[in-house]
Structure 1
Amino acid sequence: MAASTTLSSRRRWDSGIAPILQPLVRAYLFGYAYAIGPRLLTLLLQHAARYRRRNKQTTTTHEPQTKTQQIQSDESFLAALRRIFLAPLDKQSFPTFCAALIGGTTILELPLRSLFERHAGSTPAILRRRLSRWVASFIAAWMSLRLLQSKQTPSFTEVTPSEPGQDEEPQTVEYAGRTLDLTLFAFTRALDVVVGELWHRRRTRRVAAGKWTALERAVSRFADPAVFALSSGLVMWTWFYHPPRLPRAYNKWISSAAAVDSRLIEALRRCRQRTLLYGRDTGQADLLGGMCADYGWPAAWGDPARSVPFPCEMVHMGCGPSCEWHALSRFARSFRWAMTSYLPLSLLLALRSGGGRTRNPKTTRQAALLTTLRRITLSASRSSAFLAAFITLFYYGVCLARTRIGPHILSKTTAARQTIDGGLCVGAGCVLCGWSILLENAGRRKDMALFVAPRALATLFPRRYALEKQWRETVVFAVSTAVVMTCFREKPGRVRGMMGGVLGSVFRE
């Protein structure tokens, strides 16, 4: 009785809306929350940080902020807050896209099913139902993506000035690609649905025939970690050598997590570009020479003409010559850094879901709270250990290639050292780092593999491309979305991870 009362109260807010329009409204609200959530959290954190700095400055200098300064600060905060809440209300925004996609899918399905019943009466009913759902989703996906693509943004628009002495007006050139991440997200989800369904059918047949092998069990178990390892390795390689191919926010977050001196990254990039050559004076000594001065190392370490290669201690950035000690130190520092993010986030999610409540009268509220805090801490620690291991394995992979294993396989000649620092050491780190996902539980592995895969694919495509080729992206998105939507309506469990949960909350009856 209590469970049914809770469920009914949770659905009460949209009970007055026509059932066919309820998915549309839910989708719009989800899109709106998704659009403002991260920006709102960032603004609040920035405002809190400024408030703490202001109080600290007042305490230190004993000079309180003037009333005019306080008013200006409050007005800027309120203006930013107003922009965050009003920007998603635009007709070409993400919430409108979500509403058009979900609403179009549900509204178009009924007339399309009637049409197929009139003109394909001999076709089995289940095929007519699936076909009507697929076509409805395809049309809705096409139109909703076109809605997003129609919005002009400065980063995808260039104004070509007229040549001197000509009276022609400047030409505006528009580029496509602003929805590429969304398209690749839909494509990877559709691929996951199709491959998962085919593998499930194979497994069912093989198990029934008693032919399910240990190799096939291993493939089922390690498929998600392998996808994550391959995808994250590609992202890290791109971050190291082709950072403009990554979104700015993604690039900034990886740089913050890596906590590495940019001069060291630039030195390895120049090794790959062969502008920094070992054993030759190519004018690159100043780059790492500045690091040597800052860290108190011999100046010769930073000169590629004299130091072949530069010592691995420079990669450790002050942790000493031992690669293993650097790995342990890096893990500890990264774990502390990750906990500052994961622990508050886990507490916030627990409060949102009502953590700490208990239905068992024999369990005191204090005991339930302690159990919840223990679970939250364990979850945050596990996720922090994963991220710390990811960072550690990347750095230790670099050390393995440069010092521990690489020189013993390729030799210690100048040419071999150039090859190692010209990409092999970074490649070793990229190969190793993603396997830290094995520290996470199976559910998180699945979600994280599906999260990173589209971002890895995006590194293989230009961020901007010619507008006349945009129809290809639209077709890929529409077909992929139609596959995911149709599969979810027929087999909800086949759409894995958070996407399955989101669609379940949107389409619930």
Structure 2
Amino acid sequence: MSTHRVIADSPSRLSSTRRKWDSGIPTVLRPVARAYLLGFATAVGPRLVALLVQHGRWRRKDKQATAAGEATHGEPAFLTALQRILWGGLDWRGFPIFCAAVVGGTTFLERPLRAFLDLLTKDLSAIARRRLSRWFAAFIAAWLSFRLRQSKRSPAFTDTIAEPGSNGIPGPGPKTVHYAGRTLDLTLLAVTSALDVIVGELWHRHRLRRQAAGKWTPLEAAIGRLTDPALFALSSGLIMWTWIYQPSRLPRSYNKWIGSAAAVDARLIEALQRCREGTLLYGRDTGQAPLLTSMCTDYGWPAEWGDPARSIPFPCEMVHMGCGPSCEYHAAVRFLRSFRWAFARYLPIFLFLTVRRRSVRSLRRAPLSAARSSAFLAAFITLFYYGVCLARTRLGPRVLGRDVACRQRIDGGYCVAAGCLLCGWSILLEARGRRKDMALFVAPRALATLLPRRYALDKQWRETLAFAASTAVVLTCALENRRRVRGVVGSALGSVFAGSA
């Protein structure tokens, strides 16, 4: 959730620089060149940063190996990885070529399609024909480019299975099966952006009609203000639920980042999972006591706290992990710790953006902006934990009951649900301009948790259709009304089509 700001802000800030370097490129080719470079930076940049960090570790190990008289391997490995990353950016089925193909196809197909529509649909207005030609051009370009992108195979979406025989005759041997789903994140990003464009335009027109009639109400104004925070809260809550109960449905990097921010003992997560699965049952000895009794030993708590047969439920102090029995004190400590952790990560990002702007005023505001974003993330973590405590200790037992069955239901999902419902509303601490970007950033990832990561290859055309139609909507809107496309996608398309009619 932190790095998306750099991606979202960079295209608009670099637009003036791009106009200088691409001034010698023909106008019709500039969007293609910009799209390729933007795709190259998106695909290669993060991998280069990760490689440089890894290279620093390799160099330290090489120094230790040299001092010990052992062979070193870090430098050759670094050069090999660097070459692989750079060549990957030139792959004809890679992301940079894909971006250039979508934009280039839309640009070059629009004019002949408009001429064709002029001949067939003279009863339509010129504006309608222009929009239709752009939509069809973008649809065709997106469909063909996406099929090219999908043609690249990945080991994660390939299995080798043995074909069964019959009547005692052995099967023909192992069979390679390819699955679809590698491009699902890209599809969901396009679908989310298209829905945002459509809903945003409909709401804008509704607001203009109501205001013109003098019927615009405070409730409607509040709905407009809270839509983005509500979308973020719903999406982030769904992601947190998945992180607790189905972490395999999230990307590995997401799991790692959330785990680092949450700073929770893995045994607590596993205990909640077992409560939901029904393997850890209160009041019964199902052999689950060692899981939490080992945690009691590490933290110096009574061993019976971790035995679900005797401790119904296990004390909330175990959730606090050493902060004492008070849920409110634990929340305060969590906030301070999380704020310090987040500030150490946000401040360099804001300082980096400030250096690019070369503004003294921005330099002074960088710590304040970093503190505000850190407060948002700290409140997110704090509200999640305090929501769990509210359901387990403060409100849950009073509303649902205190018997064993109610305690089982609370720890079997209700407490986590309470944390998921609360945590995302920390977005209200962020600046209003940031809320829409963050909502559109997490929404596709939340949708991905509801869909299978791999599915049968013969159903891939559905995903291709969804991507092509959604991309056509977004690109048409970007060419017609650039401000209507919001978030990271809007910033990127704004830089790509800068100066285009």
1:424: which partner in 2? Answer: 414
Change in 2 beyond 3 A, CA 1:17/1:123: same
1:248: which partner in 2? Answer: 252
| Aligned ranges 1:328-347 → 2 under 5 Å | 328-347=332-351
2:176 corresponds, among 156, 172, 177, to 172
| Aligned ranges 1:101-500 → 2 under 5 Å | 101-163=102-164, 166=170, 168-351=172-355, 353-356=356-359, 368=360, 371-500=361-490
CA contact 1:443–1:497 (8 Å) conserved in 2: no
Change in 2 beyond 3 A, CA 1:7/1:102: closer
Change in 2 beyond 3 A, CA 1:427/1:472: same
- Residue 354 of structure 1: CA displacement? 3.2
2:28 counterpart SS class: coil
2:45: which partner in 1? Answer: 37
- Residue 350 of structure 1: CA displacement? 2.0
Change in 2 beyond 3 A, CA 1:120/1:316: same
* Structure 1: unaligned runs, 5 residues or longer: 1-5, 357-367
CA contact 1:264–1:288 (8 Å) conserved in 2: yes
- Residue 349 of structure 1: CA displacement? 2.0
Q: Does 1:25 align with 2:27?
A: no
Change in 2 beyond 3 A, CA 1:443/1:54: farther
- Residue 207 of structure 1: CA displacement? 0.8
CA contact 2:296–2:306 (8 Å) conserved in 1: yes
1:83: which partner in 2? Answer: 84
1:65: which partner in 2? Answer: 67
Amino acid at match of 2:364: R
Change in 2 beyond 3 A, CA 1:315/1:9: closer
Amino acid at match of 2:67: Q
Q: Mean alpha-carbon deviation: is it higher for 132-141 or for 162-171? A: 162-171
Amino acid at match of 1:268: L
CA–CA separation in structure 2 for the residues paired with 1:21 and 1:432: 48
TM-score (norm 2): 0.93
Change in 2 beyond 3 A, CA 1:9/1:214: closer
Q: Mean alpha-carbon deviation: is it higher for 492-501 or for 256-265? A: 492-501
- Residue 107 of structure 1: CA displacement? 0.5
Change in 2 beyond 3 A, CA 1:10/1:141: closer
1:48 corresponds, among 46, 50, 56, to 56
CA contact 1:233–1:434 (8 Å) conserved in 2: yes
Q: Deviations over 1:410-437 (max 9, x none)?
A: 1211111111101000000000000000
- Residue 45 of structure 1: CA displacement? 2.4
Cα RMSD, aligned residues only: 1.9
CA–CA separation in structure 2 for the residues paired with 1:24 and 1:394: 44
Change in 2 beyond 3 A, CA 1:50/1:340: farther
CA–CA separation in structure 2 for the residues paired with 1:230 and 1:456: 8
Amino acid at match of 1:269: Q
CA–CA separation in structure 1 for the residues paired with 2:18 and 2:341: 37
CA–CA separation in structure 2 for the residues paired with 1:340 and 1:47: 22
Aligned residue pairs: how many? Answer: 483
- Residue 191 of structure 1: CA displacement? 0.5
* Structure 2: unaligned runs, 5 residues or longer: 1-13
- Residue 170 of structure 1: CA displacement? 1.7
Q: Deviations over 1:114-151 (max 9, x none)?
A: 11112222321111100000000000110111111111
1:365: which partner in 2? Answer: none
CA contact 2:193–2:474 (8 Å) conserved in 1: yes
CA contact 1:162–1:170 (8 Å) conserved in 2: yes
CA–CA separation in structure 2 for the residues paired with 1:324 and 1:7: 47
2:179 counterpart SS class: strand
Q: Deviations over 1:348-369 (max 9, x none)?
A: 2222x2323xxxxxxxxxxx3x
CA contact 1:401–1:420 (8 Å) conserved in 2: yes
Q: Mean alpha-carbon deviation: is it higher for 248-257 or for 222-231? A: 248-257
**Percent identical:** 65
Change in 2 beyond 3 A, CA 1:456/1:280: same
TM-score (norm 1): 0.91
CA–CA separation in structure 1 for the residues paired with 2:236 and 2:491: 24
